[in-house]
Chain A
Amino acid sequence: MIGMTRYDSANPLTQGVEWLRDPANWQGDYGIPNRVVEHLAYSGLTLLIAVAIAVPVGLFVGHTGRGRVVVVSLAGLLRALPTLGVMTLFALLATSTLSLMPPIWALVLLAVPPLMTGTYAGIAAVDPETVDAARGVGMTEWQVLFRVEVPNALAVMLGGFRSAVLQVVATVAVVAYLGLGGLGRFIIDGLSVQDYGQVLGGAVVIAAVALVVDGVLALAQRRAISPGLQQLRHPPAGNAAREDLTAGARGGTP
């Protein structure tokens, strides 16, 4: 925990500004920059695991069409799970309450549905004629998947990735409750000592980090789409996929 900022004002809003302007809060292990790094590191680890699980499953289901019902209902179920509950449960069942991995696994459960449904819906929405044509010119199934289906599905897949990132970055704030670091620390610590300047300042930093990350991803998403597909912003088959994506995207932002 960082030392208390001395406030000139009694108004919590002004205190938040004072807290953010206090140089002491911007340095050291418990300062804002270090907490941002921690926050992003937890998020990155979570996403790495979630991508490794969800994307292959999504590719398989999208390409073969097998197991669609399982994936869709699994994603729906996971989406309804309260992440805070899963996190506290995992933390309790783990040997040591302060360890990193239990909350990370809870976050993985949160990130899997949008990644999995985004990948699956993207692949499934690729025009079947295009896929047939690829087979017709003699591509193997792997070539069909990686040279035709994935590039065509990339917009939807990245949309799913973006919403997974958004949810994870938002929810990592909660791991502070379990004694880990990250930007949630400022809110949890501030609340426990009734330092509302710290609570508000921390909340503003979390919101800013979430917005910047989302903005960067939005730019990357625009860059990553193949130029050949740029004009086809609204392909005929894309509509169902897009709605599916919105459904996946808005799973819950704790």
Chain B
Amino acid sequence: MTWLFGNLPQVLSLAGSHLVQAVIPLVLAVVISVPLAQIARHNKTLAATFLSVGSVLYTVPSLALFVILPVVLGTRILDFTNVIVALTIYAVALLVRSTLDALNSVDDGIRQAAVAMGFRPLHRFLAVDLPLSLPVLFAGLRVISVSNISLVTVGALLGIPSLGFFFTDGLQRNFPTEIIVGIVGTLILAVLMDGVLVLLQRLLTPWLRTPRAPAAEVVRA
């Protein structure tokens, strides 16, 4: 505890850069995945291509990706960008699949009703298909958010600042307290992010605010 309070400014600043590296990929992934999924929905070949490219990219270990990306992107090895791009790749690989599932699960009757009411394709997509897919989209985002928060710490092996710094530094200084602060800090960030996502989902899907959680949610928790 003494160590924590003595080093609070450093803890907070590392937590800040940790959050930046975890949140930006989440936002980018939504912006990239939703259009990709919508395109894939109308083209079976493209859908298969996206999904298989996605699963191949997802398989590449993060430590490998973190060191390959600087060469591909021309960034420096210590650059945040490498982590952000790597995590965005993982997130898109995952989110395209769940967005596609979500869009496919929208009741065709609802879609036809929207068309009959005079919605144009883009308007219909934004006002009907997308909102109805939000629960699945958010389920995906919550999984990605937890894994992102944990993955960001791996960047510490290359010297990229995050709470992971406390793991490498604590090991070198033979100081378990520091590592525990890093682990607890990471867990807190994961819980915070999850809370924000749950809140955001509740705000965006007011029609789902029933007292009972949907069954799928219980299984996943």
Contact = CB atoms under 8 A, between A and B. Distances in A.
A228 B68 CA distance: 44
B110 to A, nearest CB: 19
Interface in A238-252: 240-241, 243-244, 246-247, 250-252
B167 A82 contact: yes
A82 B157 CA distance: 13
B93 to A, nearest CB: 9
B143 A88 contact: no
Contact of B156 (A84, A199, A203): A84
Give the interface residue-count category, chain A.
35 or more
Contacts of B98: 243, 246
A173 B146 CA distance: 21
B1 interface: no
Q: How large is the interface on B (under 10, 10 to 19, 20 to 34, 35 or more residues)?
A: 35 or more
A210 B61 contact: yes
A249 to B, nearest CB: 9
A202 to B, nearest CB: 8
Contacts of B153: 82, 84-85, 254
Interface in A9-24: 12-13, 16
B113 interface: no
Contacts of B174: 92
A173 B143 contact: no
Given A170-B61, A203-B63, A210-B60, A253 B220 contact: no
Contacts of A51: none
A253 B61 contact: yes
B64 A187 contact: yes
A169 B61 contact: yes
B68 to A, nearest CB: 5
Given A82-B182, A85-B167, A214-B59, A187 B67 contact: yes
Interface of B: 56, 58-65, 67-68, 71, 77, 90, 94, 97-98, 101, 136, 139-140, 143-144, 146-151, 153-154, 156-158, 163-164, 166-168, 170-171, 174-176, 179-180, 182-183, 186-187, 190-191, 215-216, 219-221
Given A124-B219, A244-B220, A254-B62, 6 more contacts: A80-B150, A84-B157, A240-B216, A246-B143, A251-B143, A254-B61
7 contacts: A79-B150, A80-B186, A89-B170, A89-B179, A203-B65, A204-B68, A206-B64
